[in-house]
Structure formats: C-alpha cells, structure tokens
Amino acid sequence: MAKHHMEATVNGDPVEFLCETEETLLDVLRDTLHLTGSKEGCASGDCGACSVLLDGRLVCSCLVLGCEVGGRSIETIEGMAKGESLHPLQEQFLKSAALQCGICTPGVLVASKALLERSPNPTETEVRYWLAGNLCRCTGYDKIVSAVMDAAAVMRKG
C-alpha cells in the first residue's frame, strides 16, 4: 500500500509529508517533520505530553492518525515562542521553576495556552481540571498551576 501524501499547516507553515496509515500525528511530527518538542509519554492518550492544537482544538497527537490531518492546521510547542521572545507562559514556567525533567512541559504549555485563550482569568480549580490530562511525574502540580495563574495575570495586563 502506497504511503499517504498529506498537506497540512504546522505552526503557520505549509508542510507536505508521506505517512503510513498506522503512523500517528505524533510520529509524523517527531520522526518525519523533526519537530521533537511534542513528547511520547504513554502513547495511549493518558499523559498529555504529546498535546497539540488541531484546528484550534486541544488533542493528544498520539491519538490522531497522520493521514487524518490533510488540510488542517496544527500548532505545536515549537510555534509557541515568537522568534527569540518566549510566550508569557514559557517565561513564567522558567521564572517559577515549574518543571524538573521537562518531558511533560511542552504538553502542559500547549494545553495551558489553549486554556488561557478561551478563559483568560481561570480559577485554580479550572486550571487543575483543564490540565488533568497532563501528567507530571516530577514536580507535583502546585508550581505548574501557580505558573499558569501568574502567566494569565501577566497576559491580562497585556
């Protein structure tokens, strides 16, 4: 069976790639497009380390097939900083040391950005529920949650 020839948009740039049916969007991002910021933690949709936005919707890229994304827009962690300037969430995660090993961090950041875009002033409960699908096995979640709350405050001030 021939590979699927796909065209999509990744972080605003048009991309073309070939993939097998069984390759996930995460496989395509990491192995074909060499965007290795999205991580493979569980490959079963439990850990959120591979979180991306698909047409603006937060999803686990390990639960999307590469051949499903033709014509669609994908945003990954690599698109979060604009050139040299970090996103306020990234700034705040550094400032608050809201990470240790860093494997969960790209997914947490992508998920948090999606939250703040729809809810610029979330409660702590809202943040914790929204991020329930992003597992961190190092830090516990307090620093992550407070970094998201702090970044939200920074972003509200513009």
Partner 1 sequence: MRYEAPDSLEGAVALLAGARGDARVLAGGTDLLVQMRADILEPELIVDIKRIPETRTVTEERGGWRIGAAVTGAELTEHPRLKQVWPGVIEAANLIGSTQVQGRATMGGNLCNGSPAADSVPALVAAGALASLVGPRGRRDLPVEDVMLGPRRLALEKGEIVASFLLPPRPPRSSDAYLRFIPRTEMDIAVVGAGVSLTVDGAGIVTAARVALGAVAPRVLLVPEAARAIVGSRLDAEAQRRLEAAARAACQPIDDKRGTTEFRIQVAGVLARRAALIALDRARSN
Q: Which positions touch partner 1 (CB under 8 A)?
A: 1, 4, 20-22, 24, 43-46, 48, 51, 54, 57-60, 62-65, 67-68, 111, 114-115, 129-134
The CA distance from 18 to 38, in Å, is 19
CB of 141 to partner 1, least distance (A): 12
Identity at 75, one-letter amino acid code: E
Nearer residue to partner 1 within complex by CB, 21 or 95: 21
Nearer residue to partner 1 within complex by CB, 1 or 82: 1
CB of 137 to partner 1, least distance (A): 15
Instruction: Return the SS3 of 73.
Output: strand
Q: Is 112:105 a contact under the CB 8 Å cutoff?
A: no
Q: Is 147:97 a contact under the CB 8 Å cutoff?
A: no
Nearer residue to partner 1 within complex by CB, 70 or 95: 70
Give kind and range of the element (H or E) at residue 134. Answer: none
